[in-house]
Amino acid sequence: MPRRVRLALVVMSLAVLSVTALPILRELTRRTDIWWTPRTMLVPLADSGDRVEIYTHGQPLAKLLQAGQVQVLDEGRPVRLGPGDVGLRFNNSEHVRAERLPRLLVSAAFFGAGLLYLLFLVTGRLVYWEERA
């Protein structure tokens, strides 16, 4: 294989490798704390029953809030909490990662294939039978 053709193929292979490596690198360096429910969109305790249950002293928190048995100190005075006073935030990073996994696997497969192609190209394994003689 002529030297210029081999050099052009190496450059193109490196370009393909960098394009396929970018999504993988982005996912590995992504912050994990950005997938929390925003504070302005807190989920009320009543709407979160399918994802979480909170217990205090063996009793569900929602039941204690409805009975008015939960209090907090607000500027030194006790204030009873109601069901509307409690909001929850969820970490959705598992859901987001599960959605991205198929694309990352495709990127990893292409990256591996490109790396193998580049290895064969650099070591001279991709020459025609006539050129070896």
Instruction: Label residue 108 exposed, middle or buried (CB < 10 Å: 0-12, 13-18, 19+).
Output: middle
> What was the pLDDT predicted at 128?
64
Strand 77-80 to 55-56 pairing: unpaired
- Alpha-carbon Rg of the chain, whole angstroms? 29
- The pTM for the full model equals 0.55
Among the residues of 2-133, which ranges form H helices? 3-29, 61-67, 93-123, 129-132
pLDDT for residue 106: 92
Residues in the chain predicted with pLDDT less than 50, given as ranges, are: none
CA 62 – CA 74 distance, rounded (Å): 21
Please state, in angstroms and rounded to a whole number, the distance separating the CA atoms of residues 126 and 128: 7
The residue written with tokens 């490196």 in the block is 14
Predicted pLDDT at 132: 57
